[in-house]
Amino acid sequence: MAETHQLSQGAYDRLKTEYDDLSTRGRIDIARKIESARELGDLSENGDYHAAKEEKGKMEGRIMHLVRILENSVIVSDDEGGSDEVRAGSIVSVVYDGDDEPERYLVGSIEEQREDVMVVSPGSPMGEALMGARADDVIEYEAPTGAMIKVTVVGIE
């Protein structure tokens, strides 16, 4: 069974636009690059040709990745305003045990990534522990290293 991706409407629209662009204009542009490189002659020693083919492979990989995300996505409403508990799409401020400075995380898909917050997947140990938490809750989760980590939720946006 395919993994469900929870996305905000904005992230879904951005990924759909990227998919539409890559599967149309992107494919046409790369086909032109490959054709131009072919015209240069011997393909076995043609760096432009090999670079264009590699670029095509990466682009096709991204297109397939976008298709999987878009086909298996669930839109998480981002217009409900603040919630009193952590859910997919929430921005959570936490303070690690023994630290004073809060850190902000967006609980969601890496495709939701923004410059001002780090992303934590709802399926990760920290993400699972945060889901449903409320402000002032102290949660504990096991890090991949096996260490138990304790954080206090100090804010939810």
Is 98 part of a structural domain of the chain? Answer: yes
Is 81 part of a structural domain of the chain? Answer: no
What pLDDT does residue 1 have? Answer: 55
What pLDDT does residue 142 have? Answer: 95
Q: Give the residue with greater pLDDT, 157 vs 61.
A: 61
The domain of 126 spans 91-156
How much is the pTM? 0.69
What pLDDT does residue 116 have? Answer: 86
pLDDT digits (tens, 9 = 90+) for 103-135: 999 998 888 877 889 999 888 999 999 999 999
**Maximum distance among all alpha carbons in the chain?**
68
pLDDT digits (tens, 9 = 90+) for 36-50: 988 887 777 788 899
Are both 118 and 151 inside the same structural domain? yes
Is 86 part of a structural domain of the chain? Answer: no
CA-nearest of 118, 155, 123 to 137 is 155
What pLDDT does residue 16 have? Answer: 96
Residue 14 has pLDDT above 80, yes or no: yes
Is 83 part of a structural domain of the chain? Answer: no
Are both 95 and 147 inside the same structural domain? yes
Residues with Cβ within 8 Å of 13's Cβ and at least 6 positions away in sequence, in order, are none
Q: Sign (positive/negative) of CA torsion 140, 146, 147, 151?
A: negative
What pLDDT does residue 9 have? Answer: 83
CATH of the domain at 140: 3.10.50.30
How far is residue 10's CA from residue 29's CA, in Å, rounded to a whole number? 27
Are both 67 and 107 inside the same structural domain? no
Pick from 31, 51, 75: which residue ends a domain?
A: 75
Q: Give the residue with greater pLDDT, 143 vs 88.
A: 143
Is 68 part of a structural domain of the chain? Answer: yes
* pLDDT mean across residues, the chain: 89
Number of structural domains in the chain:
2
Q: Are 106 and 157 in contact (CB under 8 A)?
A: no
pLDDT above 70 covers what percent of the chain? Answer: 94
CATH of the domain at 48: 1.10.287.180
Are both 69 and 109 inside the same structural domain? no
Residues with Cβ within 8 Å of 21's Cβ and at least 6 positions away in sequence, in order, are none
